[in-house]
Structure 1
Amino acid sequence: MYLRKDLIQPRLYQEVIYAKCKDKNSLVVLPTGLGKTLIAQMIADYRLSKYGGKVLMLAPTKPLALQHRESFLRLFNIPEEKVNTLTGEIPPEKRAEIWRRSIIITATPQTIENDLVVGRISLEDVVLLIFDEAHRAVGNYGYVYIAKEYMRESKHPLILGLTASPGSDETKIRAIVKNLFIEHIELRTENSPDVKPYVQGIKFEWLKVGLPEIYKDVRKLLREMLKDSLKPLAGAGLLDSYSPDIPKKEVLKVGQIINTEMAKGNYEVGKLMLYQAKALKLHHAIELLETQGLSALRGYLKKLYEEARKGRTKSTKEIIQDPRMKKAITLLVQAKELGLDHPKLDKLKEIIKEQLDKKPSSKIIVFTNYRDTAKKIVEELLKEHIQAMRFVGQASRENDKGLTQKKQKQILDLFSRGEFNVLVATSVGEEGLDVPEVDLVIFYEPVPSAIRSIQRKGRTGRHKPGKVIILMAKGTRDEAYYWSSRHKEKQMISLLKKVEDMVKKEKQSSLLGFVKSKEKKKSETTIKEVEEKIEVSKEEVYEKLPIKPIFIRKPKGIVVYVDSRELKSQVPKMLKELGVHLEIKTLDIGDYIVSEDVAIERKAANDFIQSIIDGRLFDQARRLKEGYLKPIIIIEGELYGIRNIHPNAIRGALAALTVDWDIPILFAKDPSEVANYIYLIAKREQEERKKEIAVRSEKKALTLADRQRLIVEGLPYVSAVLARRLLRHFGSVERVFTAKESELTQVEGIGEKIAREIRKVITAPYEEKK
């Protein structure tokens, strides 16, 4: 037993879930703050006691992974050096050593994924794999690949997925179940009979704030402009309506349709791209005004004005020059002079002051969708002498530096200790972070997502009753977003029950299949019996079968050098699944090197188009040609219809690559097809043509003098300095090579021994050792 039972008191529902999940791949859906991690630890204790080996717990971020390690250290009787966290900040060689000596590992998926792809670690001895925030196990997220490799490698596999909210989309829930090989689902809601006694009540309150007249005037002008931009799109049948309330995703879809049509040669429809671009910008402007405020809108319009001034895009220029926009900007200037911003900001300050008056030590989290808004809120709270800090992601943007994971952890520690009262967070604060005893959570705007809404609410009511306040602007998309998330939460529960029933039925049918397979076993083993009893070759046995099997030899010894930056794509993982041995390096030329002659550059369609725009494409082509005899470019994805660029520009670039640069281009629909191309090319080069692999570095063009020096440097004991002396003395490479020993010794630094060795290399017959 590893778990310190004296420190825990599992609740009845935790015991029940543990008992049902300890021997089959399970997804546990349990509201935030009700002890999913403890259930995982109970199962970890059981699996380690039964099989030994390792436990691996994955979490989306480093702070979460570190949090889980601290939890295991606190509750498990395992030496500290055997409980470790692996992240990308630890050097690869050190990670391999830490993995080898550890019993419990918490990690980020990107780190484990990369280490698996390059063969640095093996999941063979992992007896339990825990996926925290399991709703992420879709698409190309690292969880999907790791689960697949785990089920293939582990001697005693068991998967446990943990989430408070897998989403409200049936296709996504089914994908999670499939990707994590789930056999059983344990679902609890706050209203489940065994959970209800432990749920700390969360009081919900949604506060509607009215927009001042100046807001309404600006909004009316922007909506009129949006309507005018949507009319031509609706008139062409690309939209069902030109109502300014049309969802943004519908407008985005129009752009894809226009680009696709232009690629087919229907250039007439290209004229509508201007209206689609204007509609998108105006849609965003209205959203900022309604949900964030006048200062957020002013910032966005200032950015558009700069774009228009530089003449970058016609759509921006037309928006800024529209008389209605000029009127709207005048109103915004007036509002600033009057000190007006979004009324939600005043209401927010009022709510926080009221809470702090009641309880000065209160911990409050404010969630907002936008970094700029988070910055504005913190500034306003500090003016009121309310201690507040912003909590955002790692990515840095223009004039806005992100927070490192170390800084994020420091902020959370300060908040937990009560060093400041208000944490103003973007979406990065929604998942899993354990901030105890938050008294109040405020949504600055509702979110139209069941997952994000549940995650935000889960920051309070974890250890004692909490409160959630949702701010909404009357008559705006705030209200629509709120009701959308409420509907999706209810939908999620019913869908989960449906999928749970589906999993049970599938398991029953697979058991029936197992029974039938036992009955068939006798007839199925007849070929094996023939092989054992009659001394004939397999080929003769198979020749007698009505349908002859096709044997595919498993790939052996195929090696591909991969640029380390390609690990972000799915291709290296798929190459590994094809049996390729990967060597990861930072390559100067190409993304994949398969032989001394062939280097392959993989370009996602979007990157290919961007490289045309920024001029990188032909520079890369030049380097490929200089480095390798037979370079290849593989373009992944659909080229036409994804960017606002004329199809002829794309065709012109393709023609130049094939005709001017003599570089063949292959097209692949997805990473799987790219991987198969690379595998087949590598197989031809290495197995059929017996080519070696040569990784070449990018070098500056050599002068004639450089080349002459390099040739002379190839002689024994001749350094760069001696090569220069020899060339200066004799005047040419030919004279160096024809000089007698006595002539060579006249050069400073060359004695009889070196002269003798030089003449020996030049004059000795060439013989290959067999």
Structure 2
Amino acid sequence: MYLRRDLIQPRVYQEVIYAKCKDKNSLIVLPTGLGKTLIAMMIADYRLSKYGGKVLMLAPTKPLALQHRESFVRLFNLPPEKINVLTGELPPEQRAKIWERSIIITATPQTTENDLLVGRISLEDVVLLVFDEAHRAVGNYAYVYIAKEYMQQAKHPLILGLTASPGNDEEKIRQVLKNLYIEHVEVRTESSPDVRPYVQGIRFEWIKVELPGIYKEVRKLLREMLKDTLKPLAEAGLVDSYSPDIPKKDVLKAGQIINAEVAKGNYEIGKLMLHQAKAMKLHHAIELLETQGLTALRAYLKRLYEERQTKSNKELMSDPRMKKAVSLLIQARDLGLDHPKMDKLKELIKEQLEKKPNSKIIVFTNYRDTAKKIVKELVDMGIKVSRFVGQASRENDRGMSQKKQKEILDLFSQGIFNVLVATSVGEEGLDVPEVDLVVFYEPVPSAIRSIQRRGRTGRHKPGRVVILMAKGTRDEAYYWSSRHKEKQMIAVLKKVSEMIKKEKQASLLGFVKPKKEEEKEEITAEEEKEQRKAEVSKEEVYGKLPVRPIFVKKPKGIVIYVDSRELKSQVPKYLKELGAHIEVKTLDVGDYIVSEDVAVERKSANDFIQSIIDGRLFDQVKRLTEAYARPVIIIEGQLYGIRNVHPNAIRGALAAVTIDWGVPILFSTDAKETAQFIYLIAKREQEERKKEVAVRSEKKALTLADRQRLIVEGLPYVSATLAKRLLRHFGSVERVFTAKENELMEVEGIGEKIAREIRRVITAPYLEEE
């Protein structure tokens, strides 16, 4: 037993979930604050006691991984040096050593994925793999690859997924379950009978505010402009109506259709792109006005005004209605007007702090600008407050490092300040202390985010959640959308969970024959022989079982050098699956080196177009041709219709690369096809042509051996590999050049024809070409 039972008191529902999930791949869906991590620790204790080995717990961010490590150190009877965190901040060699000596590892998925790709770590001895925030296990997220590798490598695999909210999309939930090889789902909500006794009541209040007259005037002007710019799109059949209440995703989709049509040569429809761009900007402006306030809208319109080089911005800002709207905004600023939600928020916080001076309050908002404004207003009131935002930096707004985030959460826990104003970074996973009041500055149209936000209160004592809404605006629509999606999520989860059980039972019944039936049957030796012929192969049988064992193939010995920056793409993963041995390096030229002659530059369609715009393309091609004899470019994805670049400009660039530079271009639909191309090229070079893999730089100081090889490579039919063989055999360039035909033929790869041609070139008199 590793878990210190004297320090914990598992609740009934935690014990029940533990018992059901300790021996099968499971997804646990449990609201924030109800102890998912403790269940994971109980299962970790059981697995380590039964099998030994290691436990790996993955979390999306470094602070969350550190937090899990602290929990394991506190509750597990293991030396602290056996419980470690692995993140990208540690050098690769150090990570490998830490992995070897650890029993429990908490890590970020991207770091683990990279270490797996290059073979730095093995999951063979991992007896439990925990995926925190498991709803992320879709698409190209690292969780998907790690789960697959784990099921291939582990001797005693067990996967545990943890999430408070996997969303309401049935297809997405199915993908999560499939990607994590889930056999069993445990779902609990605050109202589940075994959870309810432990959940203190959360009191919900939604406070509606009335928009002032100036707001309504500005809103009316912007809606009129949106209606007018949507009309041509509706007449062309690109959107269903020109109502200003049309969803933003419909306008976005119209842009994709226009781009695709232009790519096909339908340039007439391209004129509608201007209307689509204006519609998107007006849609965003109205949303800012309704949900955030005049300050946020003024800042946005200021940016549009400063970027008038784009035609859509120029037309919008020169519209008389926009000029009138801007005039009203200036008037509102002079009057000191802002969104009525701001006054209501200040009132709520003041009231809470008067009632309980040491209260902890979190205010959630979607926008950084709004968070900054709220902090300023509360500071002016003399309230101790701090902003909590993500790592990315924006114009005039520095992001917050993970170290700084942790520091702020610690100060908030200690009560150094009362109010935390957080963007979406405060919603997921981080151990935000329990609070007395949670305020949604605006509702969110997402079940996941809504559940995460309100999970910050009501854990051990009654909590209060207040949702601010502006009447008759998107605020109300977003609120009801999130409520509907949340109910839908529970229904979908239960449905999918039942289907998994039925599928599992059906698949097992198909292969397990009742004992009584077996006893009744008596078959002859001949019948048994025929029956065996008809039986499906072992792999086919396992393919139908709930969790399919992976049959590991022996690597084929294909070596591919991969640029370290390419680890962000999916291509290295697919190459590894195909059997290639990956060597990760920082390459000066090319993304994938498959032989001494061939380097592959992979470009996403978007990057290829951007390299045309910024002029990088031909410089990159030049460097490729200088370093490698036969470079190849692979363009991945749909090339036309994704950017506002004329198709003829793209075709011209393709023609120049192919004809002027002589570099072949291959097209792939996705990362998987790109990997297949690279692998097949490497296979031809290394297995059929016996070429070595050599990393070259565009400008390198040649050694004496390099220069000797280059001289010999100048002979007819002599490759770099053959040049090495000749020099090894004869010992010097001079001996190669003086060797007779029969001596040359002693070298592997040189027959009579090549030997004769080499001697002809060396001995023939030089004649000046006229």
TM-score normalised according to structure 2 size: 0.87
Q: 1:2 — aligned with what?
A: 2
Once the two structures are superposed, residues 582-637 of structure 1 have per-residue CA deviations (whole angstroms, 9 ceiling, x without a partner) of 01011111111101111111111111111122221111111111111111111111
Q: 2:466 — aligned with what?
A: 469
Q: 1:674 — aligned with what?
A: 674
The partner residue of 1:511 within 508, 528, 552 is: 508
Counterpart residue type for residue 131 of structure 1: F
Conservation of the 8 A alpha-carbon contact between 2:131 and 2:162? yes
Q: 1:271 — aligned with what?
A: 271
1:585 corresponds to 2:585: yes
Superposed displacement of residue 353, structure 1: 0.8
For residues 278 and 683 of structure 2, the distance between their equivalents in structure 1, rounded to whole angstroms, comes to 50
Once the two structures are superposed, residues 331-390 of structure 1 have per-residue CA deviations (whole angstroms, 9 ceiling, x without a partner) of 111111111111111111111111111111111111111111111111111111111111
Q: 1:434 — aligned with what?
A: 431
Counterpart residue type for residue 442 of structure 2: E
Superposed displacement of residue 687, structure 1: 0.5
The partner residue of 2:343 within 322, 342, 346 is: 346
Superposed displacement of residue 435, structure 1: 2.4
Cα-Cα RMSD: 2.3
Conservation of the 8 A alpha-carbon contact between 1:436 and 1:463? no
Superposed displacement of residue 762, structure 1: 8.5
After superposition, residues 645-684 of structure 1 pair within 5 angstroms as 645-684=645-684
Superposed displacement of residue 182, structure 1: 0.6
Once the two structures are superposed, residues 463-517 of structure 1 have per-residue CA deviations (whole angstroms, 9 ceiling, x without a partner) of 2211111111111101100000000000001101100110000110121122159
Q: 1:75 — aligned with what?
A: 75
Conservation of the 8 A alpha-carbon contact between 1:437 and 1:464? no
For residues 559 and 603 of structure 1, the distance between their equivalents in structure 2, rounded to whole angstroms, comes to 21
Superposed displacement of residue 761, structure 1: 7.5
Counterpart residue type for residue 383 of structure 1: D
Counterpart residue type for residue 646 of structure 1: H
For residues 691 and 714 of structure 1, the distance between their equivalents in structure 2, rounded to whole angstroms, comes to 19
Question: Structure 1 pair 469/523, CA: closer, same or farther in 2 (3 Å)?
Answer: farther
Conservation of the 8 A alpha-carbon contact between 1:54 and 1:127? yes
The partner residue of 1:457 within 454, 457, 460 is: 454
Once the two structures are superposed, residues 28-71 of structure 1 have per-residue CA deviations (whole angstroms, 9 ceiling, x without a partner) of 11111111111111100000000000001111111111111111
Q: 1:366 — aligned with what?
A: 363
Counterpart residue type for residue 572 of structure 1: P
- SS of the residue corresponding to residue 24 of structure 1 reads coil
Conservation of the 8 A alpha-carbon contact between 2:553 and 2:579? no
For residues 607 and 530 of structure 2, the distance between their equivalents in structure 1, rounded to whole angstroms, comes to 52
For residues 199 and 187 of structure 2, the distance between their equivalents in structure 1, rounded to whole angstroms, comes to 15
Question: Structure 1 pair 762/630, CA: closer, same or farther in 2 (3 Å)?
Answer: closer
For residues 444 and 676 of structure 2, the distance between their equivalents in structure 1, rounded to whole angstroms, comes to 41
Question: Structure 1 pair 712/575, CA: closer, same or farther in 2 (3 Å)?
Answer: closer
- SS of the residue corresponding to residue 55 of structure 1 reads strand
1:96 corresponds to 2:93: no
For residues 326 and 530 of structure 2, the distance between their equivalents in structure 1, rounded to whole angstroms, comes to 80
1:386 corresponds to 2:414: no
For residues 94 and 5 of structure 2, the distance between their equivalents in structure 1, rounded to whole angstroms, comes to 33
After superposition, residues 20-99 of structure 1 pair within 5 angstroms as 20-99=20-99
Question: Structure 1 pair 231/713, CA: closer, same or farther in 2 (3 Å)?
Answer: closer
Q: 1:188 — aligned with what?
A: 188
Superposed displacement of residue 553, structure 1: 9.1
Superposed displacement of residue 526, structure 1: 5.3
Question: Structure 1 pair 713/525, CA: closer, same or farther in 2 (3 Å)?
Answer: closer
Counterpart residue type for residue 104 of structure 1: I
For residues 613 and 356 of structure 2, the distance between their equivalents in structure 1, rounded to whole angstroms, comes to 57
After superposition, residues 525-674 of structure 1 pair within 5 angstroms as 555-674=555-674
- SS of the residue corresponding to residue 610 of structure 2 reads helix
Conservation of the 8 A alpha-carbon contact between 1:208 and 1:473? yes
For residues 555 and 432 of structure 1, the distance between their equivalents in structure 2, rounded to whole angstroms, comes to 39
Q: 2:166 — aligned with what?
A: 166
Once the two structures are superposed, residues 219-273 of structure 1 have per-residue CA deviations (whole angstroms, 9 ceiling, x without a partner) of 1111111111100000011111000110111001001101111111111111111
Question: Structure 1 pair 205/528, CA: closer, same or farther in 2 (3 Å)?
Answer: closer
After superposition, residues 142-221 of structure 1 pair within 5 angstroms as 142-221=142-221
Conservation of the 8 A alpha-carbon contact between 2:555 and 2:581? no
For residues 599 and 365 of structure 1, the distance between their equivalents in structure 2, rounded to whole angstroms, comes to 53
After superposition, residues 273-352 of structure 1 pair within 5 angstroms as 273-308=273-308, 311=309, 313-352=310-349
Superposed displacement of residue 563, structure 1: 0.6
For residues 225 and 53 of structure 1, the distance between their equivalents in structure 2, rounded to whole angstroms, comes to 65
For residues 605 and 26 of structure 2, the distance between their equivalents in structure 1, rounded to whole angstroms, comes to 38
Q: 1:234 — aligned with what?
A: 234
Counterpart residue type for residue 582 of structure 1: I
Counterpart residue type for residue 281 of structure 2: K
1:498 corresponds to 2:520: no
Q: 2:482 — aligned with what?
A: 485
Which stretches of structure 1, 4 residues or more, deviate above 6 A after TM superposition?
A: 517-521, 710-715, 760-770
Superposed displacement of residue 525, structure 1: 9.0
For residues 705 and 68 of structure 2, the distance between their equivalents in structure 1, rounded to whole angstroms, comes to 61
Q: 2:250 — aligned with what?
A: 250
Once the two structures are superposed, residues 623-681 of structure 1 have per-residue CA deviations (whole angstroms, 9 ceiling, x without a partner) of 11111111111111111222222222221211111112211111111111011000000
Question: Structure 1 pair 765/712, CA: closer, same or farther in 2 (3 Å)?
Answer: closer
The partner residue of 1:401 within 398, 405, 410 is: 398
TM-score normalised according to structure 1 size: 0.87
Counterpart residue type for residue 291 of structure 2: T
Question: Structure 1 pair 525/686, CA: closer, same or farther in 2 (3 Å)?
Answer: farther
Question: Structure 1 pair 601/712, CA: closer, same or farther in 2 (3 Å)?
Answer: closer
For residues 563 and 618 of structure 1, the distance between their equivalents in structure 2, rounded to whole angstroms, comes to 20
Superposed displacement of residue 699, structure 1: 2.1
Conservation of the 8 A alpha-carbon contact between 1:26 and 1:186? yes
- SS of the residue corresponding to residue 515 of structure 1 reads coil
Counterpart residue type for residue 111 of structure 1: T
Once the two structures are superposed, residues 117-174 of structure 1 have per-residue CA deviations (whole angstroms, 9 ceiling, x without a partner) of 1110010000001111111111111111111110111000001111111100100111
Superposed displacement of residue 432, structure 1: 1.5
Question: Structure 1 pair 371/765, CA: closer, same or farther in 2 (3 Å)?
Answer: same
What is the number of residues matched between the two proteins? 695
For residues 484 and 762 of structure 1, the distance between their equivalents in structure 2, rounded to whole angstroms, comes to 78
% identical aligned pairs? 79
Question: Structure 1 pair 683/355, CA: closer, same or farther in 2 (3 Å)?
Answer: same
For residues 705 and 65 of structure 2, the distance between their equivalents in structure 1, rounded to whole angstroms, comes to 57
Conservation of the 8 A alpha-carbon contact between 1:48 and 1:55? yes
Once the two structures are superposed, residues 418-454 of structure 1 have per-residue CA deviations (whole angstroms, 9 ceiling, x without a partner) of 1111111111110122223311111111110000100
Structure 1: runs of 5+ lacking an equivalent: 530-551, 701-705, 716-759
For residues 295 and 696 of structure 1, the distance between their equivalents in structure 2, rounded to whole angstroms, comes to 55
For residues 654 and 284 of structure 2, the distance between their equivalents in structure 1, rounded to whole angstroms, comes to 35
Q: 1:544 — aligned with what?
A: none
Once the two structures are superposed, residues 259-316 of structure 1 have per-residue CA deviations (whole angstroms, 9 ceiling, x without a partner) of 11111111111111110011011111111111111111111111111111xx2x1111
For residues 43 and 368 of structure 1, the distance between their equivalents in structure 2, rounded to whole angstroms, comes to 36
Counterpart residue type for residue 9 of structure 1: Q
Counterpart residue type for residue 661 of structure 2: W
Question: Structure 1 pair 12/258, CA: closer, same or farther in 2 (3 Å)?
Answer: same
For residues 280 and 8 of structure 1, the distance between their equivalents in structure 2, rounded to whole angstroms, comes to 53
